[in-house]
Amino acid sequence: MEITTQMIKELRGATNAPMLDCRKALQEANGDYQKAVDWLREKGMATAAKRSDRDASNGVVEMYSHGGGRVGVMVEVNCETDFVARAEQFRNLAHEIALQIAASSPKYVKVEDIPAAELEHEAAIARARALEEGKPENVMTKIVEGRVEKYKDEVCLMRQTYIRDESLTIEKLILQNVAAIGESVIVRRFHRWELGESTKE
């Protein structure tokens, strides 16, 4: 299929990607607009993943209060430059991450932060539950692994489903923004408080 200048302009207008990338995306997608958009998004995310190891020491501490002060969140989100730290898109992303934490109560930023003992404990619970349900031994390992993975999805911010778009995880949301911003973005740490909860220290 012939790729016209008009097609390239439309794709550029929608994605803000460079002209050459838009042409390549349309060629790869054989002129299919939606496939070209997906191709550009995937390319952007791949580039974003490469950026993730760059030093990110600027950023913002975003604070959010929900439900008339019943839930409070403080999250540190880092980027590479002060210029990006002041940008509206970066600030909006930090705010969305704070909203996610308020709504979904993650305990950790990423899987690597979960203590091994906690994962072993979850695996033991999953195994006991599977035995209780009378699951056969030959599928036990798979069931336990599946339930532990589901636990990781619930407690890790990066693996949680984004509250505004179920097709995205928080990690993908961040990668999309990295692709657009052009800098590494890291969620450094967060804390969530809920009125009346007991501290388990």
pLDDT digits (tens, 9 = 90+) for 120-159: 999 999 999 988 888 888 888 899 999 999 999 999 999 9
5-51 belongs to which CATH class?
mainly alpha
In order, the DSSP letters of 13-76 are HHH---HHHHHHHHHHTTT-HHHHHHHHHHHHHHHHHHHTTS---EEEEEEEEETTTTEEEEEE
pLDDT digits (tens, 9 = 90+) for 76-99: 999 988 899 999 999 999 999 999
Domain locations in the chain as residue ranges = 5-51, 58-110+156-194, 115-143
- Rounded distance, CA 28 to CA 17, Å? 15
Between 37-51, 66-80, 82-96, the lowest mean confidence (pLDDT) is in: 37-51
Alpha carbon 66 to chain centroid distance?
Answer: 21
Fold topology of 58-110+156-194: Tetrahydropterin Synthase; Chain A (3.30.479)
- Rounded distance, CA 88 to CA 153, Å? 29
Which helix or strand (DSSP H or E) is residue 6 part of? Answer: helix 5-15
Q: What is the mean pLDDT of residues 28-41?
A: 83
- Rounded distance, CA 187 to CA 89, Å? 15
Higher pLDDT pick, 196 / 118: 118
Q: Is the pLDDT of residue 46 over 70?
A: no
Reported confidence tier of residue 48, pLDDT bands at 50, 70, 90: low
Per cent of the chain over pLDDT 90 is 50
pLDDT at 125: 93
Q: Is the pLDDT of residue 57 over 80?
A: no
Q: Is the pLDDT of residue 59 over 50?
A: yes
Other CB atoms within a 10 A radius of the CB of residue 130 amount to 20
CB 64 within 8 A of CB 73: yes
